[in-house]
Structure 1
Amino acid sequence: MRIVLAEDHFLLRDGLIRLLQAHGHEVAAAVDNGPDLLRALTEQRPDVSIVDVRLPPTFTDEGLRAALTARRTTPGLPVLLLSQYVEPLYARELLTTGGRGIGYLLKDRITNGAQFLDAIRRVSAGGTAMDPEVVTRLLAAKDRDTALSTLSTRERDVLESLAQGRSNAGIAQALFITEKAVAKHITNIFTKLGLPPTTTDNRRILAALTYLDQ
């Protein structure tokens, strides 16, 4: 199997190369930044690419961006993302390119070589390899998006103002409605977002976070 590897940490990159080669795989290219990854994917057309999401120069999402660009050029190019964190947005972006030949694993949860190699084989064969925690977060994000989509236009306006830190009086003034109407809209928002009254949580903050996290 021909593999392109993108990992900026030298020791981890070297360890992955040794592991892959020990199991008979060819590392066609091993790079440590986004531009070199895109070049390698375009030129090498590997059987699978193993990509750290965050690569130089900015350490944000260069790995993902390079993989997405390559998959647009070569539809179905198998990509296995590696990350330290659960980042549902990245997973969803990869999934929108087509559901075949994709994976997203958390580095800290890869407990043995056999598990990792099996994920590589599945992705290269057009299957998927998703960490259960990533799947859980994706489903939670989907539920949140669904809940937000049930809000009326006015309720979204009220929620936006609430997320900006306005009081009920401030929201009423900004939207030219009564405070009584604001209170009613906020009650509806809490219900639709699944935020029941509690003695421990501030529902206004939770609702604002839901809005800001969309």
Structure 2
Amino acid sequence: MERHYAVMFYYDLFDTAGYYANIAEMFQDLSVDKLFIQEIKEVIGVLRNRCSAPEKEDNSVYKDWNPLRLHGVYTKAQIQAALGLSTLERKSPSREGVERLRSIKLEAMYVDIIKKREEGSTTAYKDFAQSREFFHWETQNRVREGSREAEAYRSGENNMLLFVRQQVEHPDYGCRMGFTYLGQVTMKSMEGSMPMQIVWHLNTPMSEATYAFASQYKAIG
């Protein structure tokens, strides 16, 4: 778990993989800069005091090594580092709303409740919380009934982890918003085709604050 924390920290500082050969080399290099260390200590204290997320222990099958806290808020780069989708040697290139690590049967779903359409697009994925325990999600357009992906969802082949945020950019500050980690989910129902509509059951109900924004969906642009 400490190694995963360290890789998360690495991607807080650097945009690309491979800047250091190993974690020890990174910390050895950073330890030389005493001013940096002092500033990091001060920043961590400030951020801890500001944190209002009602974090809980992870409820997924990966909880023994996953550093993410249930209902915590994270950047996508932090999530990818925490789950092993990104390493020191390789940064995940994923830009899609789902990401898989087949070796450990992990699938992460990244959901924007308010979506910004690309020019000319008429797609409006209906992703929203039906209640604090159930989340309606639409697959990518290519997923159809009987496909390999559809059967994987139906059989529960992968362990599904759900991450949601209100939208890409904060409406007031313009910065990128973080994803709230809603933990492991299991399928309640699935219907339709291209895209398919799936209702996920949250193993732990989302907070009221998350439900307040996750229950509203729309496409803008």
Which structure has more helix as a fraction of its residues?
1
Structures share fold, TM-score greater than 0.5: no
Name the larger-Rg structure.
Answer: 1
**In which range does the TM-score fall when normalised by the shorter chain?**
under 0.3
Which structure has more strand as a fraction of its residues?
2
